[in-house]
Structure 1
Amino acid sequence: MKSEIGGLILGDKATILGEMSRIGARAIAPAAQTLTGSSAAPVSFSDSLSAAVRSVDAAERKASDKVADVESGRSDDLVGAMLMTQEANLSFSALVQVRNKLVGAVDDLIKMPV
């Protein structure tokens, strides 16, 4: 039994080492290429942040329209309106947390001795 488990462990170890060497052999693409999916035009941080703000704003507007439709009687999808509102609230909270982390990072950079 011990020899079988030992053989399985050694086999797994060889497989893992083989996968690691295969992964290590590939060139790692820069982050800008990973975000765009190609090497054509790198995406700047400010563009990414602006896109996130626009996405959160669109979710807020869509949820607001859905709630307005339910309140006016044009729709009876109360559950859908509540779910969209919660989703928009969650995405806004995540955006605020990102902003807080950025402000904290900038504060840390400002406080660093030169």
Structure 2
Amino acid sequence: MTEETEKLRSKKERDLATYPDRLIQVGEVCALTSLSRTQIHRLCNEPEYAHLGFPKSVPLGLSRRAWFLPAVRRWISERAAADTGQASEPSSTADKDTSPPWEV
């Protein structure tokens, strides 16, 4: 990593610490969530993804939107908690009959 990149990274980390409740643009949402811009827009706009509860964006102008950083962080932690909750449950697939319904 170059020195300039390190300076930019440390500035961004300072900004995150200084303004924890700020608005962030789609590029930062991508970086925080590891999702693409396309997937973020799908989560926000398409009804089939509404059950995932992705935070709503707020308009900043005619064609610019932003998200509240705390809402995005909360969504990430909820997803992580849901994932770890599912992983910690014992698997009971060995007890169930897994044959297809047409073979019953």
Higher helix share: 1
**Rg larger in 1 or in 2?**
1
Query: By percentage of residues, which structure has more strand?
Result: 2
The answer, yes or no, to whether TM exceeds 0.5 is no
TM-score (norm 2): 0.29
TM-score, normalised to structure 1, is 0.27
